[in-house]
Amino acid sequence: MIRDLLKIGVVVILLLGISDGIYAQTSMKNTKYLGVQYHRGSVFNTNRFINGLNSYQRRIKDFESYSLKLGWQTNGEKEWHHVYNFPSYGFGVYSARFKEPSDIGYPFALFGFFEAPLVAGRNVSLYYEWGLGLTYNWKPYNRDLNPWNYAIGSYQTAYIDLGLYLNIPLNKWFEVNVGYSASHFSNGSMKAPNIGLNLGAPYVELRYNLKPRVRPIRRMPPPCDPWQEVLFSFAVGSKQIIRSTQVTGLETPVIDANFATYTLSATWLRQVTHMFKLGVGIDGAYDESINVEVYRMKSGNMMIEKNSHWDKIALGTFGQIEMETGKVSLLGQVGYLVARKENVSYKPDLYQRVGIKYHFHDRMFLGLNLRTYDFSKVDYLEWNVGYRIKWRRK
């Protein structure tokens, strides 16, 4: 219970950071708006549960969802408003409905979002958007009550949303957005099974500005300062795993035990534009779940043998791209394991990370990363804290 509260607390800090990191640099004069979205789309066929191995014995194809958003439209008073061409940000609630609720549940999410134009026109503009939050009210896997749902193993998951839309102002008060978004739900392997759920849908949004929106004139920012920085971070996580139990005779392949993960990393980054940083780094990861063995005791209890600690350490190097928005940054990494014991797991040497971090101090940050492999399979979540050394290149 305490661990769950701590996890929720870190996400709340990050979501508040999205607002604080941006709103602290803006004026109270920024226009607030309300938006109502409707999605109707498809469930991507990414696992056997979705493909028909469920209590309904049919392919899970469709869903619909609703979102209510409260946003702030930046007004051009700060330089970064012009860098991002007058973005907006805010919070929202999301609710999804499936035709198979007894297997999936009735999920709803609380999320923060950021939106900015890619191409701004007088009558129509093309925007990108991303959202991050927590989803609740799933009906997760349970060996006795819901043995079908191998996609979701916990009552709460992360919510990640990416999209593109066309913005069409009707007048100074009302706007219509028409777009497409893709959403991912996963608990980061903190509770197995965790294959995850992926949705894609066109949507329509009606937006109401609480004050008449006046579009400012964009001015181009000055040349980008050649900043460089080195970041040191420490991350912790927890995961569960699935192992074949045909030989051991266990009743279920899900191992209901928690395994800790720890990661130390060092990253060098260079500011290449006002929006983006590029760099490289190294990390050392300790994954307690690597090379575990499972046995059935005579008493009927399950025993997990964790073996040598040295077998669980892996060293990697990675490239990183980072998108900076005030105190909040989004990051992506592609890495390669250069040193680990051979044949200790089924995971490939190539790995990836996506994450968000919030600089609550000029030199310190909190973050949340999702480590994956094969560009689609979740390994585990990393809750991290870091320190930054920053200097200007002459």
> What pLDDT is stored for residue 2 in this prediction?
41
Predicted confidence (pLDDT) per residue in 145-178, tens digit: 898 898 999 999 999 999 999 999 999 899 999 9
User: H/E element holding 126?
Assistant: strand 125-138
Give the gyration radius of the chain's Cα atoms.
23
pLDDT of 261-310, one tens digit each?
999 999 999 999 988 999 999 999 999 888 777 766 655 566 677 678 88
The pLDDT, as a whole number, for residue 62 is: 94
pLDDT tier for residue 22 given thresholds of 50, 70 and 90: very low
Element (H, E) at 175: strand 174-186
CB atoms within 10 A of CB 346: 6
How confident is the model over 211-230, as a mean pLDDT? 84
Average pLDDT in the 45-52 region? 90
Look up residue 235 and give its two tokens: 């991350």
Specify the DSSP element, H or E, that contains 15. Answer: helix 2-23
Contact residues for 385 (Cβ-Cβ < 8 A; gap 6+): 233, 234, 364, 365, 366, 367
Count CB neighbours of 158 within 10 A: 22
More confidently predicted of 320 and 253: 320
Instruction: Give the predicted TM-score (pTM) of the model.
Output: 0.82
Tokens of 79: 């330089």
Q: How confident is the model at residue 26 (pLDDT cuts 50, 70, 90)?
A: very low
Query: Measured between alpha carbons, how far is 53 from 141 in angstroms, rounded to an integer?
Result: 13
- Which candidate, 369, 384, 264, places its Cα nearest to that of 314? 264
Q: Which domains does the chain have, with CATH numbers?
A: 2-209 (2.40.160.20), 227-392 (2.40.160)
